[in-house]
Amino acid sequence: MSSPTWVKTFLASSDRKAHESHELLNELVRLNTITIGDLSVTCVACWEVHPLREWTFIQNRYYVYSTGCTGGDYWVDCKVESCHIQCPSCHAKSYLYNRHDRDVLVALLSRKDISREKIFVNPIIITENRS
């Protein structure tokens, strides 16, 4: 089922509305009346609006070096708010932490019950860093 246009417009319109809509959106997702991928996301570079599913999700992963017999030697994924999304039109990368709709996007993309692979149609990019 496609989400109502008023929901998409409402969610994309402003920082205040995006913040206020967090609970409403969670409820709509829970009721399966909207999918996270339907959420309208505005590019801050070209100002085009695309459903979230068309963006590319970019996450950094850092290696924690071994500290002896008991610690380290594993990878840690950055928190969602430190990730980027890439515009499907102009390919500009948008840092989630600086976005006006950060609270909504972080809350949705942090959900453990919905995998990101089901939200995004493009492959998710993981950049590994050993420094």
* Residues forming the site for Zn ion (CB under 5 A): 43, 45-46, 87, 89-90, 92
**Alpha-carbon radius of gyration of the chain:** 16
Give the residue with the Cβ less far from Zn ion, 29 or 87.
87
Give the residue with the Cβ less far from Zn ion, 55 or 106.
55
CB 41 within 8 A of CB 8: no
Q: How far is the CB of 62 from Zn ion (least distance, A)?
A: 27
Give the residue with the Cβ less far from Zn ion, 45 or 64.
45
The CA distances from residue 2 to 8, 13, 60, 71, 88, in Å, are 10, 19, 32, 48, 20
Q: How far is the CB of 122 from Zn ion (least distance, A)?
A: 14
The answer to whether the Cα torsion of 1, 91, 49, 31 is positive or negative is positive
Phi and psi (nearest 5°) for 70?
Answer: -115, -10
Q: How far is the CB of 86 from Zn ion (least distance, A)?
A: 9
Q: How far is the CB of 92 from Zn ion (least distance, A)?
A: 5
Of 75, 57, 61, 76, nearest to 125 (Cα)?
57
Give the residue with the Cβ less far from Zn ion, 12 or 28.
12
